[in-house]
Amino acid sequence: METEIEKVFSRYLEYASMYKKRKAWIRDKSSLGIWRKFFLAKEIFLVESLKKWVITEFISWRLSQNTHKRTINTDLITIRKVLNWAEEEEIIAENPIKTAKITMFKIKNEIPRILTKEDIFLVETIAKSMNPDRQKRF
């Protein structure tokens, strides 16, 4: 049985609007809008047409648009989540990308270092010692 991607997306968004928090629904809707645009450009209309190469091309397409890797990860998570949901709801027989080994981008979650008052004092002291004529505070 062939299933149109658009029907899956529409049913998922209907479900998500009722059972997910508004912020999650908006994020999913935005991400699926990007997927729709990509599928339309590639003339991919059926769920069964989705293969690993399609996902790889999507990643390349998003990178060519200078999209942040974290956003691309969100898009990948969304398509996988939607297709898993469709499989559970028996809208599709099986998720065609479930077995595809899609590598997510590694994102460093570094917290920026914030200077303490003591750190600022130390920096000022060192700066003044390097230029004793400068008496003003930075």
**Contact assessment for residue 50 and residue 44, using Cβ atoms and an 8 Å cutoff:** yes
**Contact assessment for residue 16 and residue 61, using Cβ atoms and an 8 Å cutoff:** no
Cα four-point dihedral sign 42, 47, 53, 55: positive
Question: What distance, in Å, lies between the first and last C-alpha atoms of the chain?
Answer: 70
Q: Report all structural domains of the chain as residue ranges with CATH numbers, in order of start.
A: 5-106 (1.10.150.130)
Amino acid at 36: R
d(CA 127, CA 135): 10
pTM above 0.85, yes or no: no
pLDDT at position 137 over 80: no
d(CA 21, CA 16): 8
pLDDT single digits (tens) 31-73? 999 999 999 999 999 999 999 999 999 999 999 999 999 999 9
> What's the confidence (pLDDT) of residue 91?
94
> What's the confidence (pLDDT) of residue 135?
57
> What's the confidence (pLDDT) of residue 63?
97
- Using 50, 70 and 90 to split pLDDT, how confident is the model at 136? low
Cite the DSSP H helix spans in 1-138: 5-19, 22-42, 52-64, 69-88, 117-130
